[in-house]
Structure 1
Amino acid sequence: MKNIILILSGLILISCNKSGVAKQEVKADLMEVIAEDQAPAAAVAIPPPLAVSEKLLPDNNTSNKDGYTPKKTDTISKKIIKNGDMKIQIGDIKKAQSQVNEIIKKNNAYIQKEEFQNTDMDDNLNLIIRVPHKNFDALVSSFSDGVGSVLSKNISSNDVTEEYTDISIKLANKKIYLEKYRNMLKSAATTKDMLEIQENIRELEDEIDVAEGRLRFIDDRVNYSTLTLNLYKEKVRSSATSEIGFGSRFMDSLTEGWNSFVSFLLGLVSLWPFFLLIPIIVFVWRKWKSGKKDKN
């Protein structure tokens, strides 16, 4: 009997231990499930809403997604602007002009401006010549050797590579931003956003036009150099004027002297109102002086 009671007691204890362990395992499993369910909820953060002004600004982080990755600027060659001016004394203006035209044609140049002055002392032909950059030195040498006597010559070179590079880089960036703004305009949600984007587009287009105009001007001055040429001819006195004798010069001097004397007299006559005032002033002054003496 005792043996049966001991066996039953052992079985009851074993079953109690198993149920406790099972409960602990169930609790542990529930805690793990709860922890797994709560962990993602705690990790998720709601992003703050974007303001309208932030939406209008180009997003640098999305440039690669939109395909607007800036391109590397190509290496720009040297940009040198060459200018010069020359003054040449010649003997025959027509002959010299014909020689100049031949030299200009030979060097693929052209005359941008021509001005001729004829005075009593000299003749002056002023030319502004545009010549390809590579032919500039040959043109200057041809004028120096075969046209006449060079009175003056000034040549200058100006390196504008840095300016050209800076403008090119800024221009490329402005075109990228312009394309972004145009794409943003298509998806603008409000009228305010649309007006703000359109204003940014207008400003960028104006800046791009100015930059492109400056680059075209620099390219023109680099590709074609400018030379200002002055052809000078001093006039000689004619034989009739140079052979005037002493007697003729003496008579001319007498005539000039008489003309000067007449001019002086006429000048005095033109002052007659002032001469009339002199006696009046003297009379008043004497009257005042005599009255002062009588009082004394």
Structure 2
Amino acid sequence: MKKIIFLLSGLILINCSKSGGEKQEVKADLTEVLTEDRAPSPAAAPPPPPLSISEKVVSDENGTNKDVYPSKKTDTISKKIIKNGEMKIQVGDIKKTQNQVDEIIKKNNAYIQKEEFQNTDMDDNLTLIIRVPHKNFDALINSFSEGVGTVLSKNISSNDVTEEYTDVAIKLANKKIYLEKYRDMLKSAATTKDMLEIQENIRELEDEIDVAEGRLRFIDDRVNYSTLNLNLYKEKVRSSATSKIGFGSRFADSVTEGWNSFISFLLGIISLWPFFLIIPVIVFIWRKWKSKNKNKN
């Protein structure tokens, strides 16, 4: 009986020692895991300290602050195509054709930006500057080419401004990032000199941002709405009665012009009156001098 109790006690002590070792191993493993978790990873390293307040943020061209202020990722910009056109159409009746043109413009959701009419002895000219959505530009051109009149000339051009638009958009995004950085720096400015310098940089950036945004709006307007310069031309055909009236009018103009020329000539002669007074005096003095020389001889 004593031997059995002694064996059981030994087995219990051995199991306790093993469990203690396992617990120590588990604790060691947990300690290592916690240590690894507390150790800062390279990806989670704190950001570099900001630039001093007196340093200016320069543009990407200099390549000095690209790592400090990374460029903002911009979305992919679709193609930016500006379409312009010029057309000259000979018509039989300007007023009738203008009504037809108005219907075509309305159908294509376009509008007239400028209208100019000239009436001369030889012809009538109606010039329209039309702005039309880019998707309706080709349909508008085709409508004017068919059924309006005889197309005397047509010039269509396309200008790809995608590269310019992308460049301006990227620079604008970067300038906005710089602007926010300066505003944050202004909050923590310690001296008046630093505040004035930062405010000046903010003002310059705001001006540059306004210019860039205006350029983008201009390009968007030219891309979204194409421009067509349309000229309606009507040559005047003179009848016999009109020709007679035209000849009589021109004859009267010629007589009037001849009379005006005669008056101008007469007034020109009158304007020379000082010379008419001086010439007789010169002749009188010359003759008197000549007579004195004869008497001496």
Answer yes or no: same fold by TM over 0.5.
Answer: yes
User: What is the rounded CA distance, in whole Å, between the counterparts of 2:258 and 2:208 in structure 1?
Assistant: 73
Give the CA deviation at 1:190. Answer: 1.6
Deviation of the 1:220 alpha carbon: 0.5
Indicate the structure (1 or 2) with the bigger Cα radius of gyration. 1
CA distances 1:184-238 after superposition (whole Å, capped 9, x unpaired): 1111112221111111111111100100000000010011111111112222335
Instruction: Report the residue type matching 2:78 in the other structure.
Output: S
Partner of 2:126: helix, strand, or coil? Answer: strand
- Paired residue for 2:73? 72
Partner Cα separation in structure 2 for residue 258 and residue 60 of structure 1? 80
Which residues of structure 1 form unaligned runs of 5+? 1-49
Counterpart CA distance in 2 for 1:272 and 1:158 is 64
Q: Which residue of 2 aligns with 1:143?
A: 144
User: Could you tell me how far apart the structure 2 residues matched to 1:152 and 1:61 are?
Assistant: 52
Contact kept, 8 Å, 2:125 with 2:231, in 1: the verdict is yes
Distance in 2 between residues matched to 1:258 and 1:193, nearest whole Å: 81
Kept after mapping to 1: 8 A contact 2:127/2:230? yes
4+ runs deviating over 4 angstroms: 56-63, 251-265, 288-296
Q: Which shows bigger deviation, 212-221 or 256-265?
A: 256-265
2:157 paired residue number? 156
Supply the distance in 1 between the matched residues of 2:197 and 2:254 (Cα, whole angstroms).
87
Corresponding residue for 2:11? none
- Residue of structure 2 in register with 1:204 after alignment: 205
2:186 corresponding residue in structure 1: 185
- TM-score, with structure 2 as normaliser: 0.67
The one-letter code of the counterpart of 1:107 is: N
Bigger fraction of residues in helix? 1
The answer for the alignment partner of 2:92 in structure 1 is: 91
Counterpart CA distance in 2 for 1:143 and 1:80 is: 22
Q: Distance in 2 between matches of 1:128 and 1:75?
A: 33
Matching of residue 170 in structure 1 with residue 174 in structure 2: no
Q: Cα distance 1:213–1:91, how it changes in 2: closer, same or farther (>3 A)?
A: same
SS of alignment partner, residue 95 of structure 1: helix
Q: Which amino acid aligns with 2:221?
A: D
Between 70-79 and 197-206, the greater mean CA deviation after superposition? 70-79
Q: Quick one: distance in 2 between partners of 1:113 and 1:264?
A: 43
Q: The residue matched to 2:114 in structure 1 has which SS? A: strand
For 2:86 and 2:271, how far apart are their aligned partners in 1? 54
- 2:270 aligned residue: 270
CA deviation profile, 1:102-159 (whole Å, cap 9, x unmatched): 1111221111111222333322211110011122222122212221122222222222
Q: TM-score, normalised by structure 1?
A: 0.68
Q: Deviations over 1:224-282 (max 9, x none)?
A: 111111112222335424357x9x89x98997899589658745763561434433333
- Helix, strand or coil: the match of 1:146? coil
What amino acid is the match of 2:206? E
Q: C-alpha separation between the residues in 2 aligned to 1:261 and 1:141?
A: 54
Task: Provide the C-alpha distance between the structure 2 equivalents of 1:254 and 1:78, rounded to a whole number of angstroms.
Answer: 61
- SS of corresponding position for 2:237: coil
Could you tell me which residue of structure 1 aligns to residue 37 of structure 2? none
- CA distance in 2 between counterparts of 1:145 and 1:208 reads 46
Mapped to 1, the partners of 2:88 and 2:231 lie a distance apart of 5
> Hey, what does 2:22 align to over in structure 1?
none
Output the aligned Cα RMSD.
3.6
**Partners of 2:183 and 2:203 in 1: how far apart?**
11
Give the letter for the 2:108 counterpart.
Answer: N
TM-superposed deviation, 1:75: 2.2
For residues 70-129 of structure 1, the C-alpha deviation after alignment (integer angstroms, 9 at most, x for no partner) is: 332322222121112222221111111011111111221111111222333322211110
1:156-178 alpha-carbon deviations (Å, 9 max, x no partner): 22221121111111111101111
